[in-house]
Amino acid sequence: MESLIKFIDVSFSYSSDLEHGLEALAGINLEIEDGEFVAVLGHNGSGKSTLAKHINALLVPTSGKVVVAGIDTQDPERLWEIRQNVGMVFQNPDNQLVATTVEEDVAFGPENLGIPTAEIHHRVDEALEVVGMSEFRLHSPHQLSGGQKQRVAIAGMIAMRPRCVVLDEPTAMLDPVGRREVMQTVIKLNREENITIVLITHSMEEAILADRVIVMEEGRIVLTGTPREVFSQVEALTRLRLDVPEITSLANRLRSRGFAMIPNDILTIEEMVNVLCRFE
C-alpha cells in the first residue's frame, strides 16, 4: 500500500530568498504511513513549519513533489480534496476561531465543504465529543481557556473527517494544564480515531509520545527514529540546541562519569529508578 504522505526530493525557497539561493527545505525525502504519529523537532528557522505547510498545500515545492493520499499537491484542481484530507492546527489559539459559538465554529469547515445540514449536526456532535468539549457547545470561544480553544480548533478539523491532522506547535502558548488537555486529545485522535498525526513541537515530553521523531536543521532531516533512538543522542541534540529531557541528560552525564550500567536511552523517572534499584 502507498504511504499517506510522500515527499520526493522536495526543495522549497521563499520568494524573497530565491535570488540568494536560500532553501527553507533542501532535498527532503519522507514517507508517513496511514495511522502513524510523527513528531517533528528543530529550532526556529530549521524548516519544520515549512515542511508542515507542504502537507496540506499551503505551500508547494519549488522542486520535487509532495503526494498526499495519492494526490499531487501541485494539482490546483484537487486542492480542496487535499485540504479536506489534511487538517491544520496552529500555535495561537486566538487566531483560529471565527464564529460566535463553539458549535458554529466547528460547523464552519463542513459547511464550506457543502455537506447537508443534518450531517453537519451529526459531525459537530461527534467532533465535540472526541475533544471532550460537548458541554461548551453554546459557549462563545472567547470565554474558553487556551487549551479549550485549541481543542475546539481540533474539533473543527476533525469535523471535516481528515485522514491526517498537522499541528504546528499547538501547545506553545498554553500552560501545563492546557498542554496536557491538548496532548491527550492528540493521542486519542491517533489511537482511537486512527488519524495520522504530524506534530511540530519544541517539547521533548510531547515528542516522546510519538511513534517516530524527525529532527530538522537547515531545511534537512538530520535525525530520525523512534523517540528512544533519537533522544539517546544527547550530544547531537545539544549541538542542535534542542532540549533533552532532564532525566535523559542526567543519565548521559552519569554514563560519561563511568557508570556504564546506566543506559543512555532513559526517558522517564521510572526507568531511572528501576536502573538504580537494580544496581543496589
Partner 1 sequence: MEQEALRNVSLTIEDGEFVGLIGHTGSGKSTLVQHFNGLLRPTSGKVFVDGADIFSKDVSLRSIRQKVGMVFQYPEYQLFGETVFEDVAFGPKNMGVPDSELHDRVDQALGLVGLDLSLKERSPFELSGGQKRKVAIAGVLAMQPQTLVLDEPTAGLDPKGRDEVLSLVAHLHQKENKTIILVSHRMEDVARLAKCLIVMAHGRIALEGPPEEVFREADYLEEIGLGVPQVTRLLQVLKKQGFDVNPDHYTIDAVESEIVRLLETK
Note whether 48 and 25 are within 8 A (CB).
no
Minimum CB distance to partner 1 smaller for 28 or for 272? 272
Can you read off the three cell numbers belonging to residue 122?
451529526
User: Judged by CB under 8 A, does residue 222 bind partner 1?
Assistant: no
* Rounded least distance, CB 118 to partner 1, Å: 38
- Strand-pairing partners, residue 165, are 87, 197
Of 73, 45, 71, the C-alpha closest to 59 is 73
Nearest to 147 by CA among 89, 88, 93: 93
Dihedral, CA of residue 22, residue 27, residue 31 and residue 36, to nearest 10:
-30
d(CA 17, CA 118): 48
Residues 6 or more apart whose Cβ sits within 8 Å of residue 202:
41, 43, 169, 172, 242, 243
Total of residues contacting partner 1 (CB under 8 A): 33
The minimum distance between CB 256 and partner 1, in angstroms, equals 10
Among 184, 224, 249, 264, binds partner 1 (CB under 8 A): 249
Rule CB under 8 A: is residue 278 a binding residue for partner 1?
A: no
Name which of 110 and 147 has its Cβ closer to partner 1.
147
The only residue of 175, 191, 229, 235 in contact with partner 1, by rule CB under 8 A: 175
Q: Determine which residue in the list 163, 202, 220, 228 makes contact with partner 1, applying CB under 8 A.
A: 202
* Residue 260 contacts partner 1 per CB under 8 A: no
With beta carbons less than 8 A apart as the criterion, state whether 120 and 114 touch: no
The reply to whether 272 sits near partner 1 by the rule CB under 8 A is yes
Give 169's DSSP letter.
S
Q: How far is the CB of 24 from partner 1 (least distance, A)?
A: 14
Q: Which of 58, 99, 172, 236 binds partner 1 (CB under 8 A)?
A: 172
Give φ, ψ of 106 to 5 degrees: -70, -30
E-only strand ranges, 90-219? 164-168, 196-200, 212-217
Nearer to partner 1, 98 or 273 (CB): 273
Binding mask 65-94 for partner 1 (x = CB under 8 A): --------------------------x---
Q: Note the residues at the interface with partner 1 (CB under 8 A).
A: 43-45, 91, 145-146, 169, 172-173, 175-178, 202, 241-243, 245-247, 249-250, 253-254, 257, 259, 269, 272-273, 276-277, 279-280
